[in-house]
Structure 1
Amino acid sequence: MTDTNELVRLTAAEMAGRVRSGEVSSRELTEAHLSVIESAEPDIKAFLRVCPDDALAQADAFDARRAAGDVEGLPELAGVPIAIKDMIVTKGIETTAASKILKGWIPPYDATVITKIKAAGMPILGKTNLDEFAQGSSTEHSAFQTTHNPWNTDCVPGGSGGGSASAVAAFEAPLALGTDTGGSIRQPGALTGTVGVKPTYGAVSRFGAIAMASSLDQIGPVSRTVLDSALLQEVIGGYDRRDSTSIPMDVPHLADAAREGARMDLHGLRVGLLKELGGEGFQPGVEKRFNESVDLLRGMGAEVVEVSCPHLPYSLGAYYIIMPSEVSSNLARYDGMRYGLRVMPPEGVPQTAANMMSYTREAGFGDEVKRRIILGTYALSAGYYDAWYGSAQKVRTLIIRDFAAAFEKVDVLVSPTSPTTAFRFGAKMDDPLAMYMNDVATIPANLAGIPAMSVPAGLSDDGLPVGFQFLAPQKHDEALYRPAAALEAALENRWGGPLWRSMTAGWLESR
């Protein structure tokens, strides 16, 4: 049996290799991560619920299948455990979207991505924390607990998917699934030193993802390496007839692109520096690491040019009209009538359906969710629809055209992922606009439906991780993986190893 600490510090691809060779069983991998979860959770609080019995049963089922020789055609990651953001529906496991209004809800079905994860023989360790209904940039808006950043537990892990990112960064899970509406996979990735990917809109089924903003939401991988994300996206990707926005296309060979990139030869690649995503408002340490990474891309043969997308400065404003409008529509279903929380009016108040809905939503929704519902309802109201929502959609079209024009000149675009490193708890809770600015570099990809990835670019002067973002043309997700893997390899050569291996994890060292 391999030492637990050694096991959990492997990449997912390395774990998969040991499982295939028979050196390690899926049960051993799962037990190792459950052990770390037990040690780390008092400090990290990444999980809303851990599922040890289910995970071990799934691991044993895979091990039995492997012993019988019945593993033909399974994905490379078969047998490797995974954590799931609690925005994704899991049959028989409570799914709350970190909201009181769904507390106690046990879904009767699995999301399509969960069906694929189970078919791949990947044990599900549990459900990770998030900002309520994925609405936030710090995971401080969860109704149940606040997740901490493993690099500094006094700091936020980003949001909304801080639970998934922290679980992977803290070695509680080798892989996780997240959802990305305006950067909820990539921004936590930047702040926790993990790899976060938002696939092309429609390339991964959204069936079973609790809707926040339907035209923006996308499920994607969270991992510690580019190759691990590639392997996971290959598992969950593909057309799904149950999702009306699913694209009928084959899953590209993402792992091949990542392995090619790891050879660090980028000759012939055209890289565009996004003029509008940098400068004022970006932390000096973030820009320093970003510029160093761009120099590494040049050193590997890439041609780097500055590219302008003139309408990107309007993306934040357009997003915060479109997204709340869709939130207002999607969250109208939580009415206390059909499932979830129900709060009846107190004695003396008419016992009407309208009053019951009002009291249920007052008790069940948090402040940030209420804020966005109000904003969205206002933007969609008579007399304001064309002036606000209609105008925002026109800006969205201009941003899509900007990206299309840019990709005629370059193969990928790059920018910092987040303008700052992780900030301390409470630093931005009283200023929603300052909180919203955390997503200024990630939102454009969601508006345009293009794929984007954040990879670690080192540590800033404050000792906290910095993220480097790649963006690629729609339906060309493989274009992200080659340069991202090349940069990852070049940075590892500079640091003498992966950034994540250097993290001091007290819950591991004290074991």
Structure 2
Amino acid sequence: MQFNALTAHELHDKLVKKEVSSAEITEAVFKRIDDVEEKVRSLVTQTRDKAMKKAGEVDAKIGRGEAIGPLEGIPVVIKDNMCTEGVLTTCSSKMLHNFVPPYNATVVEKLNRAGAVIIGKANMDEFAMGSSTENSRFFITRNPWDTERVPGGSSGGSAAAVAADETIYSLGSDTGGSIRQPASFCGVVGLKPTYGAVSRYGLIAFASSLDQIGPFTKDVRDCAQVFSTIAGHDPKDSTSAEFAVPDYTSVLSGSVRDLKIGIPREYFVEGTAPKIKELINNAINKFTELGAVCEETSLPHTEYALPVYYIIAPAEASSNLARYDGVRYGYRDELAEDIVTMYRRTRSEGFGTEVKRRIMLGTYALSSGYYDAYYLKALKVRTLIKQDFDKAFEKYDILISPTSPTPAFKFGEKADDPMQMYLTDVFTISVNLAGIPGITLPCGFVDGLPVGLQLMGRPFGEGDLFKAAYAFEQNTGFHLNKPKL
């Protein structure tokens, strides 16, 4: 049996029954990494010694007859923009090529307390800026379904590692679709939680009002379990919300008879591949068949989401990335003859092209004379976008749409046209602007490539998303397909 191909809940059952040890699971994962990592390139750092030590501790606990938690002894990969104490954390950037944090991000602390086995850090677009993982300083990550295609981004390494069975689950971050789009491209489940539901403490910031950490998993049950583990208030994060975190696996009944589902007409626009529209319509029919009420609705300000996002996100990035000056930590130009030259060279050499593009866009939008015309106006339109969702959720429990207008595209296909690259996130950006949760799960294939179905919910309405996603998953089985590497 290939233990690395199983889900976390399947492995938990086997650990409890002593049919497998955590060490055996961890070894199976590392063997898979040895076998396929050269093809996929999903990891920038591996922590084999730490992982095997942790697995041994869990096995000793089981040997003593002690109960274990649902994620205890299960391997996980962490996106390389979350701080891990004593382990290199680079954001896939030259700027942080030598940064070893002295502390853990809160989500890492929570996983450690849950007994998770951290096996490594995932490749990503530099500072989470990108939709294809082509912007990594180190190397490109390849899609396990077709290694000539991108895995999506910016959390491409996290998604590819789960799809390739190099880990059981992983964590990513989502600023404008960076969990949902790669999850769709790689045929796995990905959740972008409600803003404030998961602590951002220790997440290296891109755009602070948009960033959110969430899981990649092989099925919906695992996703609900991981979210139950990492969610909750954190006093170290001033934007963290205080709310009671239920056991989200308890809502997985398989029934959607009491759900009302809205279908925003603005998400079925030109530019979406016809075969993807067909798969989404099939999904809507499946929900109707299962007893949900599905009706067309409208989110009229959707057309402004892309320009609003590409003013607000770069503006916040410009502010957040000002801290990388070569003085305190990270990359530094050592040959400069004065401090101004050192600043300039450090930032021009330490940041990649896409990061510099967004810093310049953001600095311009915040500059004197343009602040009101761009940034302030974008904030006002963001409010209108959120109000669209508020109005829709007065009537509907969840909204449904494609996750991406196309399946995974080939390397280089959009690299020279930033606008075409930005359009790949056209269906995911509004969720971040509104601060609501969104989940994607497999709903079929186009030319052998996986396609994701996006479900959007009310703030802190993750329970409804899990309920609907689980019912769809159990009645279709698309998640059971595996890429052949």
TM-score (norm 2): 0.99
Superposed, 1:102-501 pairs within 5 Å as: 102-257=96-251, 259-260=252-253, 263=254, 265-346=255-336, 351-460=337-446, 462-492=447-477, 499-501=478-480
The residue matched to 2:475 in structure 1 has which SS? helix
Does 2:478 align with 1:502? no
Q: Displacement of 1:45 after TM fit?
A: 0.2
Q: Which amino acid aligns with 1:296?
A: K
Q: Which amino acid aligns with 2:354?
A: E
2:169 and 2:218 in contact (8 A); partners too? yes
Does 2:4 align with 1:8? yes
The residue matched to 2:476 in structure 1 has which SS? helix
Q: Displacement of 1:345 after TM fit?
A: 4.3
Q: Deviations over 1:155-197 (max 9, x none)?
A: 0000000000000000001100000000000000110000000
- Identity %, equivalent residues: 49
1:137 and 1:438 in contact (8 A); partners too? yes
Question: How many angstroms apart in 2 are the aligned matches of 1:342 and 1:205?
Answer: 30
Superposed CA RMSD: 1.0
Question: How many angstroms apart in 1 are the aligned matches of 2:304 and 2:466?
Answer: 28
Q: Displacement of 1:355 after TM fit?
A: 1.2
Question: How many angstroms apart in 2 are the aligned matches of 1:9 and 1:94?
Answer: 27
The residue matched to 1:382 in structure 2 has which SS? coil
The residue matched to 1:276 in structure 2 has which SS? helix
Question: How many angstroms apart in 1 are the aligned matches of 2:158 and 2:302?
Answer: 28
Question: How many angstroms apart in 2 are the aligned matches of 1:279 and 1:341?
Answer: 44
Does 2:34 align with 1:38? yes
Q: Displacement of 1:505 after TM fit?
A: 2.6
1:169 and 1:500 in contact (8 A); partners too? no
248-257 vs 424-433, which moves further? 248-257
Q: Which amino acid aligns with 1:478?
A: G
Please list every run of 5 or more consecutive structure 2 residues that lacks an aligned counterpart in the other structure.
none
21-30 vs 204-213, which moves further? 21-30
Question: How many angstroms apart in 2 are the aligned matches of 1:354 and 1:188?
Answer: 39
Aligned length: 485
Q: Which amino acid aligns with 1:286?
A: I
1:155 and 1:423 in contact (8 A); partners too? yes
1:9 and 1:501 in contact (8 A); partners too? no
Q: Displacement of 1:500 after TM fit?
A: 4.5
Question: How many angstroms apart in 2 are the aligned matches of 1:500 and 1:35?
Answer: 23
Q: Which amino acid aligns with 1:325?
A: A
Question: How many angstroms apart in 1 are the aligned matches of 2:362 and 2:419?
Answer: 16
Q: Which amino acid aligns with 2:409?
A: F
Q: Which amino acid aligns with 2:22?
A: S
